[in-house]
């Protein structure tokens, strides 16, 4: 029992983000929780958490131990749900993260419908343009655009993500419209930076394979919304996804260019933990948005 209690304090501390919050959740004093965490680290002979007065971070050993604790808890949950005949009941807290722009446009409008379908779920939706660490941040599902980097996670494709080069009519009237990829070198290009890296080389699929085109311009931002607004205001040419600019293309505020050159695909995925038992709430979330978007998402065919 003592070991189980120590594990519970550790998992709660990771999930809640602090020892103080874990103590409140468990109804224990901060001193008791701190002692149990110290005892656990002593018994294992490794440090699980690097703690400061303001923040905490999982160590590599802590990350592995946390994953094992979750698997054990999931096995217990699975067994209890099966015995109680509740295996398929969708309930509990569901923590989801997505990019700010995509979340506002294509996740937030459907939250009410999802909750009405699954009233037992308590949804915590975090929107950020920085990729969260699913383990360290206690995330159940992440909606991500682009290839999966961490092979220990599962990625389910929710929708294709067609991207285009676009600019405002005013910019193209002044600077001219590029006729071939090489022309981009002479244009102002609006560059999206992500995770501290600037994406100043654009990739295209050609008959010769992947073609890399270096670009430059006066505006770089880590916000897709800033890139979109800069393109609308006539700053230059940008790469944008149709989910973000279908309205602007339709009303003429933006015009696509070099349409005969395909950009490399970066599809939209639901990413979650690679475990033997995927919870019903995660399955429900993934299925809901896979159905909403589908292989021909609505933003590619606006009314």
Q: pLDDT digits over 146-156, tens only?
A: 866 656 688 89
Q: How confident is the model at residue 273 (pLDDT cuts 50, 70, 90)?
A: confident
- Hey, what domains does the chain have and what are their CATH numbers? 2-84 (1.10.10.10), 92-161+267-300 (3.40.190.10), 163-263 (3.40.190.10)
Compute the distance between CA of residue 157 and CA of residue 160 in angstroms, rounded to an integer: 8
Tell me the pLDDT of the chain averaged across its residues: 86
Instruction: Find the length of the chain.
Output: 303
Mean per-residue pLDDT, 47-65: 82
Q: How confident is the model at residue 216 (pLDDT cuts 50, 70, 90)?
A: very high
Q: How confident is the model at residue 2 (pLDDT cuts 50, 70, 90)?
A: very low
Mean per-residue pLDDT, 133-148: 82
Share of the chain above pLDDT 70, in %: 88
The per-residue DSSP string of 55-101 comes to: -EEE-HHHHHHHHHHHHHHHHHHHHHHHHHT-TT---EEEEEEE-HH
Q: How confident is the model at residue 1 (pLDDT cuts 50, 70, 90)?
A: very low
Q: Are 145 and 268 in contact (CB under 8 A)?
A: yes
Res 29: pLDDT: 87
Q: What is the DSSP letter of 258?
A: -
Compute the distance between CA of residue 36 and CA of residue 17 in angstroms, rounded to an integer: 17
Q: pLDDT digits over 81-129, tens only?
A: 665 555 567 888 899 999 889 999 999 999 999 999 999 999 999 998 7
Tokens of 115: 């909750």
Share of the chain above pLDDT 90, in %: 47
Q: pLDDT digits over 220-271, tens only?
A: 998 889 999 999 999 999 999 999 999 999 999 999 999 999 888 889 999 9
């Amino acid at each position: 029992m003592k070991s189980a209690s120590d594990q519970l304090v550790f998992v709660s501390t990771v999930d809640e983000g602090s020892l103080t919050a874990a103590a409140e959740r468990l109804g224990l004093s901060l001193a008791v929780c701190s002692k149990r965490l110290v005892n656990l680290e002593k018994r294992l002979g490794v440090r699980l958490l690097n703690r400061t007065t303001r923040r905490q971070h999982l160590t590599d050993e802590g990350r592995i131990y946390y994953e094992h604790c979750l698997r054990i808890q999931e096995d217990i949950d699975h067994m209890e749900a099966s015995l109680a005949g509740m295996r398929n009941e969708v309930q509990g807290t569901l923590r989801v993260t997505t990019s700010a722009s995509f979340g506002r446009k294509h996740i937030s409008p459907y939250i009410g419908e999802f909750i009405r379908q699954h009233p037992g779920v308590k949804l915590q939706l975090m929107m950020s343009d920085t990729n969260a660490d699913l383990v360290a941040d206690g995330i159940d599902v992440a909606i991500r655009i682009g290839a999966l980097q961490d092979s220990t996670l599962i990625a389910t494709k929710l929708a294709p993500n067609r991207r285009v080069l676009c600019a405002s009519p005013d910019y193209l009237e002044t600077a001219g419209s590029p006729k071939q990829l090489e022309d981009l070198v002479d244009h102002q290009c609006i560059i999206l930076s992500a995770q501290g890296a600037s994406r100043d080389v654009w990739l295209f699929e050609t008959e010769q394979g992947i073609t890399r085109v270096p670009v430059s311009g006066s505006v770089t931002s880590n916000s897709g919304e800033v890139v979109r607004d800069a393109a609308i205001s006539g700053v230059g040419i940008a790469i944008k996804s149709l989910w973000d600019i279908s309205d602007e293309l339709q009303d003429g505020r933006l015009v696509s260019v070099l349409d005969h050159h395909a950009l490399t695909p970066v599809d939209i995925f639901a990413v979650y933990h690679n475990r033997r038992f995927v919870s019903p709430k995660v399955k429900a979330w993934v299925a809901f948005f896979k159905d909403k978007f589908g292989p021909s998402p609505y933003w590619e065919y606006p009314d």
